[in-house]
Amino acid sequence: MKLTFYRCALLRYLVASLLLCFFPLLVSAQQDNQPTIRFVRNPDPAPEFKLAGLDGKPVTLADSKGKVVLVNFWASWCGPCRAEIPDLVELQKKYKDRLQILGLVVDDEDLDAIKKFAARFGINYPVALANNEIRLQYGGIPALPTSFVLDSEGRVVQKHEGLRDPVLYETEIRSLLGLPIGNVKVETFEDTGEIFLKNADRATELPGVDLSKLTPEQKTVALHKFNAESCTCGCGYTLAQCRIYDRDCKTSKDAVTKILAAVTAAPHATPASAAPSQPASPVASPSPEKPHE
């Protein structure tokens, strides 16, 4: 009887010791699986616009001052756009006093058809036709739908291309409104072109460009050239911006390949004046469509 008691006590001791040994690993695993949302660390102001809404009233960012704003670029012919509209309608209804969704239609100029579409889907937020100027100010809009998330100060803190889980949108909105978001971690990141292409000069990595074999000095020179030279595909962007905008662009791919060959062949590379300091964040793969001139 006494022997059995000691055996049980020893077994409990061993189990407790093992749990204590593996507890840090268990905690780390839970942290790795923790859902996370990300916002730009030093966000840029959203480009202002004034467009005519479907009802004839002006649609502007200024009218939504103090609210969290979701600027949603879409088209009535776009399947993923149609799929997410009911979720956007519900979000607008649920957070109507503190959230403003703005639907900007691109590549779709049939106003009567859009009005019928909006009525059929019960769209309860302003909708307007976006001109090419607005489209370019927001980075060309390479894929539909594309949504920009603005904080209450009118700054772009996130950008989403393609159809997204409505839970993600709601979590971001609640976080920006200071509402509970459960066990969700909030991280910040430096915009290196994934939000606004003008910030591509901060990137130290580019889609489809292997810089791993370069010395730090060669990498600095190459990145400087990528940001100084324009792509000739017709996009109007630098080579770095084009690689972020359209990783399938053969023109920019060939150009950066030639630059890499020249940089590695040079006996001594002289570093450029301003080297980016933050790693590039992963970006969504855009469509091959180029922005209208």
| End-to-end alpha carbon distance in the chain | 89
Structure tokens at 150: 């603005």
* Nearest of 162, 256, 180 to residue 214 by alpha carbon: 256
Decide if 286 contacts 246 (C-beta within 8 A).
yes
Structure tokens at 124: 């309860």
Residue listed under structure tokens 């971001």: 172
Calpha distance 206→239 (Å, rounded)? 10
* Nearest of 118, 120, 80 to residue 101 by alpha carbon: 118
Q: Give CA angle at 291 (288, 293), nearest 5°.
A: 140
pLDDT tens, N- to C-terminus, the chain (293 residues): 444 444 444 445 444 444 344 434 333 334 468 899 999 999 999 999 999 999 899 999 999 999 999 999 999 999 999 999 999 999 999 999 999 999 999 977 788 999 999 999 999 999 999 988 998 899 878 889 999 999 999 999 999 999 888 999 999 999 999 999 999 999 999 999 989 888 889 999 998 999 998 999 999 999 999 999 999 999 889 999 899 888 889 999 999 999 999 999 877 544 444 444 443 334 333 333 434 43
Structure tokens at 144: 């539909």
178 backbone φψ class: left, alpha, beta (φ>0; ψ -120 to 50): left
pTM recorded for the entire structure: 0.75
* Nearest of 111, 113, 147, 143 to residue 129 by alpha carbon: 111
Decide if 84 contacts 166 (C-beta within 8 A).
yes
